[in-house]
Structure 1
Amino acid sequence: MMKKAMILLTIICLLCACSCSPTPHSQTEGREYLSRLDSALNRKEEYRRILDNKLVELKQKASQPQSLEASYFYNKLIYENYYSFSYDSALFYIEKNYALASQHDKTDRIVECYLAKAKVYSAIGLLDEAYEVLDKARQLPMSREIKLEYYVQQLYYWSQRSIYYNSPLLDEVHAYGDSLMTIETNQSSPYYLWGRFWNETDAEKKPEVCRMLRERVDTMEADDLWYAQLCFATGILSSATGDSENMLKYYVKGLCADISRVNRNLPSLLIVASYAREIDELVYANRFMKAYMGMLNDYPDRVRGGTIHVPIMRLYDSTVAHLEEEAKKRNAFIGGIAAMAFILLILLVFVYMLFKKQLKLRKQLSQSNRELDVNLQLLSEHQKELQIAHDSLSESSKQLVEVNERLQEASFLKEEYIGKLFAVCSDYLEKIVNFRKSIHRKLKAKQYDDLLKMTAPNDSTMSNEMKEFNNHFDSIFLSIFPNFLEELNTLLKPEEHIVVRNEEKLNTDIRIYALVRLGINNSVKIAKILGVSPQTIYNSRMKMRGRIIASEEEFIRQVRKIGGWKAPDEPLPEEF
């Protein structure tokens, strides 16, 4: 019961946590692009300082005495940097270049200055002035490059005019786009793509144009002057084909490039702000709208300034609706929290009652555990007593096994020795019988001299008899313990191993310990059996003491265990 209550409490806490967590209102990809644009706007002051430093450097170079071409070149760089940042300064340096070009009658330079003026005039909404300078440029001869730029500025003028008068794109736009494509036939050229963008009216071909623009933009550097323009065109066509993700992606790419060049004429920023409003990213929408309004103050644009109230009102309406929706959610959330708090209070009382009941059960269980511990202790003591009895029984069984092994060994030795002994005795009886027969024949024949020779003490005869006895002993012993020598050598140091001659089976040293293995421990008895003196036995033992690995006592015990059966660890006689 307690477990169920805790599970229910956990579920309620999780519900509270889920209710408190914010709900995402936009896709992850869109949020990423909006965040990237926001980061670029946050760095606009840094970009401004970089541009100011660049302009100071250019002005210093332009102020130095130099050729006409150099002065014109630096003035052009200055007004190109001022173009979308400060139109007054841009026009000032354009006029300086115009004066230089007029003074030296440089027609291409004059046309270039006209086009630069038209670009500034179109950007700030001075459309009549833009038309006038474009018309002046039209009347002058142009090179191929200047003509391409002329058509670009005509497109810009007519597109601005269409926005200002809120009218559809005029035929002039399509005509100038076609002119660009006629002069520049390279399909990867920005001029061709710009003309194709303005000229294409077939909805089925717009995806193809959009693809061409994307491929070209993706190969360009962000500091290319065409980069932002082609990104703008890609964004418009992506929107027309329903590809909102690429629309936002390329708008943001172009905006980031323009912001890094301190461009304050950013119509696509208003489009991105409107898109952020549509996907309920109102924080970004307000941020971008404020940035756009600030740019309009710094760089007035009559074309878009008159239409800015429409997206502002839409953003305001969306913000109000969003706040009302949030207020409803907040009220519902507060009501839900109050209900959950009431349920939680009841549950806590219930848990407290269960806790008291569980505490009582724990005390009873603790008492039962103590009684069980006492019983377990008694049981443990009984088990120890049983273990002691079991160990005693095991020891008795072990001793019984050892006694049984001794009996088996004794029985085995008796059987082996009796059989061998009977054979040896039989041989000696036969020798005695034959010896008596020989004596009897000699007596009957009265061959007393031969009898004296036969019965006289003879070392050679005794040696042969002893040798024959040793051979019998070696054969009998090795038949019972065939690996005795190998096992005896394992008890000796490696350099002290015993090696017998080829004609021998055992030598005197080995026979001494062979008799020990058979249970004969007395040195005097061993000396009599082997036909040697007790001193010989003693000398052999002393010699062996320096050859063994373990102590002498342990060595004797190990010898008595050679052959499989383990002899009991009995006290050794004094001789050993």
Structure 2
Amino acid sequence: MKRIFFYLLLLLYVNVLFSNNNTLLLQLDEEINKRSEYEEAKEKELLLLEDMFRYASSKESKYQILGKLFDAYRNYDTNKSLKIAHEKYQLALSTNNKDYINDASMNIAETLCMLGMFKESLEIMDVIKQDELPGFLLPYYFHTYRTIYGLLADFVTVDIMRDRYLHETNRYRDSIVAFNQEGTLPYVIVKSDSYNFNGDYNKAICLIKEYLNKSDISLHDKAILYYTLSESYRGINDKYNEKKYLILSSIGDIKSVVREYVSLRRLAVMLYEEGDIDRAYKYVTLCMDDAVKCNARWRILEVQKMFPIINESYHLKEINHQKRLKNTLLTISVLSLCLIVAIVIFYLQKKKITVARLNLIKINNELSKVNSELKEANQKLIDMNKSLTESNYIKEEYVGHYLNQCSVYLDKIEQYRHHLNKIASAGKLDDLYKLLKSSSFIEAELKDFYTGFDTTFLQIYPNFVDDFNSLLTEPIQIKQGELLNTELRIFALIRLGITDSVKIAQFLRYSVTTIYNYRTRIRNRAACAREDFENKVMNISK
């Protein structure tokens, strides 16, 4: 059970991870769709710098603006950046400033390197004397040499030469680390690159992630750091994080409008290996377009290694898609033909179907009517049966009660007659007259009679008092020792079906007016409509 739970958690975790990367891929697609907006803003920035250069008054300010233009064009348009580097060099010569001349020369060498002209780049760099360079130019000097030898190592096919170029690359990488202050961006980039080269991937990850906590990192610098981080995760075979940081690096490259990059090409290869051919083709095509626009020859060569494979897979997929589409269209055509035949048959039978449908509707209506009548009759029958059952029950209860009551009364009358006979035989005429004039016997018997009525009624309707009071705004209060009072007894008779005030008056030995007044007074206290009150009383259940 624990193992199953563990696997479920692991599956959930993997799903969340892939979902996160899919979200980043969608974000990357959105940024690619907005690429023209970013390029438009970039072109405005370049035009502004060119205007500033034209209106600059001093050679010093012109040189500084050309430096900014070179940085802006460096990863955007190699031909333009080479032209600006030459302009910088000519302007530096006119100022006779040795530092400016060396800086512009290294700009030319760096750009030629991007164009794949490694020999010419090295010739320019070899002319520059390291010991004549000021401290602020040394890191750039080492960076340019490292870039040249690094690219030579990537493209050379002879192992001995590759080892030599890698040795030179590492030597200049170490120099960059030594001449940059610890914690600076150049230091972090080159040091983490060195860690990756030597297999210390976790050290590189820690160094970069610590630096990424800073808030003042530009988009392009973040893109470089993310790419280096993806290389570290590639070293430890962490495909998820490698892909994640390649996506983040690609987003940074797109938003900072550079055309010379690696991340998107690497990401396209990963997606191709995962089977996402459409995205891989889209990304690698964009890489090729940007490399051509930038005229970065070595990037073009890199893309060309993978482009034919992805392109062939994409077109093969398109061919298969076209085949499936043709098969689908053929199937749809056949189904359409069958549908046309069915429609023709349908219209031929339409008249018969219409008549049959009308007859069916008529029959259904008649059946519905009969069904409604049957339901109504059934409900009436149910109500009638219920009423009959209740009436039979009441009759049984009261017939039994009053048969017994009659027998008791006969016994009492016989006893009363014997009692009167004894008094008369004894000659006690005065006592006899007193008894005959007294109503105490009748009152006692009436009390017993009503008590018997109340008891029998409450046996049939045990909740009558509570149910009756729930229909009133002011409930009726019963005195101590009573089961029902006069008001309740009136409506108890109504519940039994005796609604005539004359009969109720005879039963309770009141005048008809008194009974009417009682009924009116109670109806005025009804919580419902006065005219519905007695109907609701009639519906009080057993």
TM-score, normalised with respect to structure 1: 0.55
The 8 Å contact of residues 123 and 265 in structure 1, kept in 2 or not, is answered as no
Give the equivalent residue in structure 2 for 1:229. 224
Q: Following TM superposition, by how much is the alpha carbon of 1:212 offset from its aligned partner in structure 2, in angstroms? A: 4.0
Give the equivalent residue in structure 2 for 1:136. 128
Give the alignment partner of residue 152 of structure 1, picking from 139, 143, 159: 143
Change (3 A) 1:492 1:52: same
Gaps of 5+ in 1: 1-26, 342-372, 437-461, 494-512, 522-540, 553-576
Give the equivalent residue in structure 1 for 2:292. 297
1:548 aligned counterpart, secondary structure? helix
Q: How does 1:476-515 map to 2 (within 5 A)?
A: 477-478=446-447, 481=450, 487-488=485-486, 490=488
Mapped partners of 1:399, 1:306: distance in 2: 108
Mapped partners of 1:261, 1:292: distance in 2: 15
Q: Following TM superposition, by how much is the alpha carbon of 1:239 offset from its aligned partner in structure 2, in angstroms? A: 3.2
Give the equivalent residue in structure 1 for 2:404. 408
Would you say 1:548 and 2:540 are equivalent positions? no
Mapped partners of 1:313, 1:156: distance in 2: 27
Q: Following TM superposition, by how much is the alpha carbon of 1:302 offset from its aligned partner in structure 2, in angstroms? A: 3.9
Mapped partners of 1:284, 1:246: distance in 2: 19
Mapped partners of 2:295, 2:409: distance in 1: 129
Mapped partners of 1:236, 1:492: distance in 2: 100
Would you say 1:46 and 2:63 are equivalent positions? no
The 8 Å contact of residues 94 and 116 in structure 1, kept in 2 or not, is answered as yes
Give the alignment partner of residue 206 of structure 1, picking from 201, 206, 211: 201
Give the equivalent residue in structure 2 for 1:177. 173
The 8 Å contact of residues 164 and 304 in structure 1, kept in 2 or not, is answered as no
Q: Following TM superposition, by how much is the alpha carbon of 1:403 offset from its aligned partner in structure 2, in angstroms? A: 4.4
Q: Following TM superposition, by how much is the alpha carbon of 1:484 offset from its aligned partner in structure 2, in angstroms? A: 7.8
Report which of the two has the higher share of helix: 2
The 8 Å contact of residues 92 and 100 in structure 2, kept in 1 or not, is answered as yes
Q: Following TM superposition, by how much is the alpha carbon of 1:181 offset from its aligned partner in structure 2, in angstroms? A: 3.1
Partner amino acid, structure 2, of 1:120: T
Q: Does 387-396 or 49-58 show the bigger shift?
A: 387-396
2:246 aligned counterpart, secondary structure? helix
TM-score, normalised with respect to structure 2: 0.58
Q: Following TM superposition, by how much is the alpha carbon of 1:197 offset from its aligned partner in structure 2, in angstroms? A: 0.9
The 8 Å contact of residues 118 and 152 in structure 2, kept in 1 or not, is answered as yes
Q: Following TM superposition, by how much is the alpha carbon of 1:51 offset from its aligned partner in structure 2, in angstroms? A: 1.0
The 8 Å contact of residues 423 and 429 in structure 2, kept in 1 or not, is answered as no
Give the equivalent residue in structure 2 for 1:469. 438
Partner amino acid, structure 2, of 1:406: Y
Mapped partners of 2:132, 2:257: distance in 1: 33
Mapped partners of 2:59, 2:173: distance in 1: 34
Give the equivalent residue in structure 1 for 2:463. none
Mapped partners of 2:126, 2:103: distance in 1: 10
**RMSD of aligned residue pairs (Cα, Å):** 5.6
Mapped partners of 1:260, 1:547: distance in 2: 95
Change (3 A) 1:91 1:321: closer
Partner amino acid, structure 1, of 2:288: M
Give the alignment partner of residue 239 of structure 2, picking from 238, 244, 248: 244
Change (3 A) 1:414 1:272: same
Q: Following TM superposition, by how much is the alpha carbon of 1:82 offset from its aligned partner in structure 2, in angstroms? A: 1.5
State the identity as a percent.
Answer: 15
The 8 Å contact of residues 180 and 187 in structure 2, kept in 1 or not, is answered as yes
Q: How does 1:48-447 map to 2 (within 5 A)?
A: 48-64=39-55, 73-94=64-85, 112-131=103-122, 132-133=124-125, 136=128, 138-143=130-135, 146-166=137-157, 167-168=161-162, 169-184=165-180, 186=182, 189-198=185-194, 200-203=196-199, 205-210=200-205, 212-213=207-208, 216=211, 223-305=218-300, 309-315=304-310, 401=396, 402-419=398-415, 432=428
Give the equivalent residue in structure 1 for 2:341. none
Mapped partners of 1:473, 1:78: distance in 2: 129
Q: Deviations over 1:332-386 (max 9, x none)?
A: x99xx9xxx9xxxxxxxxxxxxxxxxxxxxxxxxxxxxxxx9xxx9xx9xx99x9
The 8 Å contact of residues 196 and 209 in structure 1, kept in 2 or not, is answered as yes
Mapped partners of 1:98, 1:481: distance in 2: 130
Q: Following TM superposition, by how much is the alpha carbon of 1:516 offset from its aligned partner in structure 2, in angstroms? A: 5.3
Q: Following TM superposition, by how much is the alpha carbon of 1:159 offset from its aligned partner in structure 2, in angstroms? A: 1.2
Give the equivalent residue in structure 2 for 1:348. none
Q: Deviations over 1:380-431 (max 9, x none)?
A: 9xx99x9999899969956963544432332233344554665577668768
